[in-house]
Structure 1
Amino acid sequence: MSNVARHPRPAEIADWSLDRIMDRYVAKFGDRTADWDAFADANIEGYRRAQHRFVGAGASGKHDDGGIVPAGNFTLSIMLVPPGQGNAPHTHEVEEVFFILQGRCIVFIEDEDGNRKSAELGPWEMISCPPGVIHGYQNDTDEPVYLQVMLGRGKPDVAGFTDQTLFDTRQRHLGG
């Protein structure tokens, strides 16, 4: 009996061997480098965190293909968030999902008037933040948090920080 692929491979990998596909599309945590400078706000106390990129570049804007699985329609990374840290309130042009793997953190959404709704999430819990909704997270515990972050585009725009200073410096952070 033989297997039948019911959908064609994308043109760019149509003639690839299984070895080549495995080499390009498998990523292991131990091979990832913690990027503590992935975001314009990551050097500010309260927003320190490390990104471990797996699929695509994510909202860091760093589109380095070195060892990162190519993105089609989404990105995926793991964030290490030390105690007392989080990220600055921001928006995206696509949805963003925070899925807690280890630890507990507060996720929030805000409106332009400063109203905020928060929820504490633990392992195997998540929030999906719709496009254009101000959102973020904060680790208010004594333990590190690991969360999976997915964005709904292979090369999303850089995060739209609500803080004007961070928004103005995001391109400079990327070297542009």
Structure 2
Amino acid sequence: MSNVARHPRPPEIADWSLEQIMERYVGKFETRTADWNAFSDASIEGYRRGQYRFVGAGASGKHDDASIVPAGNFTLSIMEVPAGQGNAPHTHEVEEVFFILKGRCVVFVEDEEGNRLSEELGPWEMISCPAGVIHGYQNDTDEPCFLQVMLGRGKPEVAGFASQELFDRREAHLSDKS
């Protein structure tokens, strides 16, 4: 008895063998290295975090490399957030999900007037941040936090930091692809 694929493969892999598909579309943590300079705010105390890219480049602006699974309609990465660190308030043109894998962190949303609502999340809890809503997270514990981050576009724009100073650093950061 044979199976029938009810949907066509994308043209770029239409003729690939199963071996080729597995080789290109499996990502293992052991093959990843944290990028501690993935974002223009990551060199600032309080915003230090490492990104392990799995699917697509995400909103870091970094290019995909051969070890990263090609992005179709979303990106996926793991963030390692040391104690006392987080990310700067920012927006995206698409939704962004923070799913806590290990540890605890405070997630927040805020408006242009500086009003902020926060909630502490732990393992297997998440927030989905709608497009255009200022959001972020902060690890206020003494332990590292690991969270899965997904963005709703295969090649999203670079994060739009709410701070004008951080927003202005984007171009310099994008020109340094290390």
**Structure 2 CA distance for aligned equivalents of residues 66 and 25 of structure 1:** 10
Q: What letter is aligned with 1:115?
A: N
Q: Counterpart in 2 of 1:57? A: 57
Q: What letter is aligned with 2:102?
A: Q
Q: Percent identity?
A: 81
Q: What letter is aligned with 1:135?
A: H
Q: What letter is aligned with 2:127?
A: I
Unaligned stretches of 5+ in structure 1?
Answer: none
**Structure 2 CA distance for aligned equivalents of residues 8 and 133 of structure 1:** 36
Q: Counterpart in 1 of 2:163? A: 163
Matches within 5 A, 1:26-105: 26-105=26-105
2:141 is paired with a residue whose SS is coil
**Structure 1 CA distance for aligned equivalents of residues 41 and 9 of structure 2:** 39
**Structure 2 CA distance for aligned equivalents of residues 150 and 63 of structure 1:** 16
Q: Counterpart in 1 of 2:23? A: 23
**Structure 2 CA distance for aligned equivalents of residues 114 and 66 of structure 1:** 41
Contact kept, 8 Å, 2:82 with 2:143, in 1: the verdict is yes
**Structure 2 CA distance for aligned equivalents of residues 7 and 151 of structure 1:** 24
| 2:139 is equivalent to residue 139 of structure 1 | yes
Normalised by the length of structure 1, the TM-score is 0.99
**Structure 1 CA distance for aligned equivalents of residues 159 and 80 of structure 2:** 18
Contact kept, 8 Å, 2:36 with 2:48, in 1: the verdict is yes
Q: How many residues align?
A: 176
In the TM superposition, residue 41 of structure 1 has moved relative to its aligned partner by 0.2
In the TM superposition, residue 126 of structure 1 has moved relative to its aligned partner by 0.2
In the TM superposition, residue 150 of structure 1 has moved relative to its aligned partner by 0.1
2:171 is paired with a residue whose SS is helix
Q: Counterpart in 2 of 1:174? A: 174
Q: Counterpart in 2 of 1:120? A: 120
In the TM superposition, residue 60 of structure 1 has moved relative to its aligned partner by 0.3
**Structure 2 CA distance for aligned equivalents of residues 22 and 140 of structure 1:** 39
Normalised by the length of structure 2, the TM-score is 0.97
In the TM superposition, residue 33 of structure 1 has moved relative to its aligned partner by 1.1
Q: Counterpart in 2 of 1:109? A: 109
**Structure 1 CA distance for aligned equivalents of residues 117 and 161 of structure 2:** 18
Unaligned stretches of 5+ in structure 2?
Answer: none
Superposed CA RMSD in Å reads: 0.7
Contact kept, 8 Å, 2:26 with 2:69, in 1: the verdict is yes
In the TM superposition, residue 171 of structure 1 has moved relative to its aligned partner by 1.6
